[in-house]
Chains A and B, each alone.
Chain A
Amino acid sequence: MARSAQPKTTLSGTPALGRPSQGLWADLWHRLVRKKRAVFGLVVITFFTLVAVLAPLLAPHDPLELGFGRVYLPPSWVKESATGRVGDPQFLLGTDTAGRDLLSRLIYGTRASMFIGLSVTPIVGVVGTLIGLAAGYAGGRKSDLIMRVTDVFYAFPAIMFYVLITLVLRETAFGKWMNGLATLLLALVLIGWVGLARLTRSAVLSTKESQFVEAARSIGASDRRIVVRHVLPNCLSLIVIWMAFAIPRMIMVEAVLGYLGIGLIPVVDSSQSFFVTTWGGLFLDGRIAINTHPIMMLAPTLCVALVGMAFTFVGDALRDVLDPRMRNLI
């Protein structure tokens, strides 16, 4: 970890003063790329994002193309599988229950799962921050009320919420939008903001008492100006770090829900093949064949683990760089 190195005190020797002054984000970037794990994380994230965007170009086969003559093919490097089948170099990772190419499905699964992680988190970030700011800055009765509403959502069993909202919306037009992905996103947002709102609120509460806020108030700055120019920038690093950790959590929640059969409606029609399956959906597909055909479980596991670790590494590095005091909060 970076903290092991004591900061140098000589003026010319300090990295921050040895080069021309930079903006906050440029400085952040330079410090981030000096951490090996963070770079690894960024590379993995970039790779999976590219795979998600370029899915149709990368997938060797149509992820929906059935092939009943080639059900449960093992990966191409396997000479003879438990079921006595031989790997086919055309299907790098083999095929699934219905003879569909596993690699292509994995690539399309990456698209949906990365989309979930990368789209839900910013929305949750904005909602949670706004509510947390309001609750923290308002103070008194209003703050109490907002926090008790937060408590209701906090106490609500999340998994039951996902199940119910899927059941409620399944038959509606919204539920069918994007093969059920819209419902999943909505559910994730509705549950996800709670943690960030609580965190932001506590950060606002401590910032509010600081002297620079008092100074701003004493020269007659409006509440709005104080929140936007003084309080929010001081909570921003906290929010950024929280979001870095939230992305893999969203992806993981999706994987659990997909495994339970909640989430994406299975797609068979190739006309709506933008979001075909998710990593969670692949878990569900692979569950029945785990003994004879473990690759169907292993492949999505590897993806979830890699992406999860990548975001965690980046999150750790961001925390070290932006705000080491936060180690105990997230």
Chain B
Amino acid sequence: MIVLLVRRLLWTIPILFGVVVVAFLMLHLVPGGPWDNRPQPTAMFTVSADSATRKTLERRFGLDKPLWRQFVRYVFGDLDEDGKFVCGLICGDLGPSYRQRGNTAQDMLFGAPEGKPFWQSCFFYSIRLALLALLLALVVGLPAGVIAALKQDTWIDHAITLVATLGISVPNFVVGLFLIATLVSVGANFSVVPRSWSDPTVWVIPVAVLSLGTMAATTRLTRASMLEVMRADYVRTARAKGLKERTIVSAHMLKNALIPVVTLLGPALGELVAGSFVIEMMFGFPGMGRLYTDSVLWKDYPLILSATLLYALLVTLVNLGVDFTYGLLDPRIRAG
């Protein structure tokens, strides 16, 4: 078990390396560089440089070197202008941001505004949003699925199934837009882009909108899983023994029915982090989404690579965790 865990953990390194290679190559295939004079549609301001400045900047960040050398510089490190060795990604240095003057990618992702704790940074804002959405999805989706299964073929079941099927069929941003439109038109005291995110009530709508798809998926999976378990022999045995229905549901059914739901957590969290890009843009959320899209358009290579890497690390680790929890919860799988 431990050996397997270590092995899988070590495997994340080549996986992340692969992600960096793919992202790096694709980024450099995109025509244009970080200091081009092209007007950028989404940038608030367009800083452009004359050719002399651009040359200096390119030399400073090593962009005049061949591509393989730039890659080595980013991942392992390279000599800087003064002949001093600067370590790259393997030392945990995510590199400078090209467009955010004087800031490194670390500052942009993990740096909180002055005097604020670390969880006020872009990265942790996004993580908090995704985790809250996941929590909400589970809190609503699990009971809904269980109730639908217990009341199978009644109107409650039909209603829940219908709503859940709708939930996985409609993109969540559409629901969000209509929600905003409705709230605005009924004159609710509410602003789409709040002034401050320190007030917990402003989180409610973005979190709810983001969690819709996952909530629906959780409901469907829980229901299907419960129906499966309800027909199992051990449930019949429990009934035959004369156990209270409540005990059967909680001790026999739920315990087994929730195991498959755990597998959903990995893909769900990945989807929530990725899906939050649209939601973040919609609500002006100070997370990674905005940073990401802007840095793609600005070709802020280190920043994009760092954000991609973080995302990949998150997804890989969560999936690893899910695989192992699954084994712990279900001894049959561990043996197999």
Contacts and interface: CB of A to CB of B under 8 A. Distances in A.
Nearest to A171: B31
Contacts of A307: 169
Interface in B220-255: 221, 224-225, 227-228, 231
B27 A164 contact: yes
B166 A157 contact: no
A164 B274 contact: no
Nearest to B264: A328
A168 to B, nearest CB: 5
B22 A4 contact: no
Contacts of A159: 274, 277
A148, A158, A160, A167, most chain B CB atoms within 10 A: A160
B260 interface: yes
A308 B169 contact: yes
A327 interface: yes
A312 interface: yes
Interface in A136-164: 148-149, 151-152, 154-161, 163-164
Contacts of A290: 177-178, 180-181
Interface in B75-123: none
Interface residues of A, number: 43
A3 interface: yes
Nearest to B20: A152
B11 A155 contact: no
B166 A154 contact: no
Nearest to B313: A155
B19 A156 contact: yes
A1 B153 CA distance: 7
B294 to A, nearest CB: 12
B2 interface: no
B13 to A, nearest CB: 11
Contacts of B16: 155
B166 A256 contact: no
A313 interface: yes
Interface stretch (A84-92, A102-110, A264-272, A297-305): A297-305
Nearest to A3: B227
Contacts of B11: 148, 151
B150 interface: no
Interface in A208-231: none
A72 interface: no
Contacts of A252: 169, 171
B177 A151 contact: no
B6 interface: no
B131 interface: no
B221 A151 contact: no
B30 interface: yes
A210 to B, nearest CB: 14
A167 B169 contact: no
Nearest to B317: A155
B312 A256 contact: no
Contacts of A301: 170, 174, 178
B170 A297 contact: no
B18 interface: yes
Contacts of B177: 287, 290, 297
Nearest to A150: B15
A330 to B, nearest CB: 9
B63 interface: no
Contacts of B29: 168
Given A307-B169, A308-B169, 5 more contacts: A148-B11, A248-B169, A252-B169, A294-B178, A305-B169
Q: Which 10 residue pairs of A and B lie closest in terms of their CB atoms, listed nearest first?
A: A308-B169, A152-B18, A328-B260, A155-B312, A327-B224, A167-B30, A164-B26, A157-B311, A168-B29, A155-B315
24 contacts: A4-B153, A148-B15, A151-B11, A151-B15, A155-B315, A156-B22, A157-B273, A157-B274, A157-B308, A157-B311, A160-B308, A164-B296, A168-B26, A168-B30, A248-B169, A256-B278, A259-B173, A260-B278, A283-B171, A290-B181, A301-B178, A308-B168, A313-B165, A328-B260
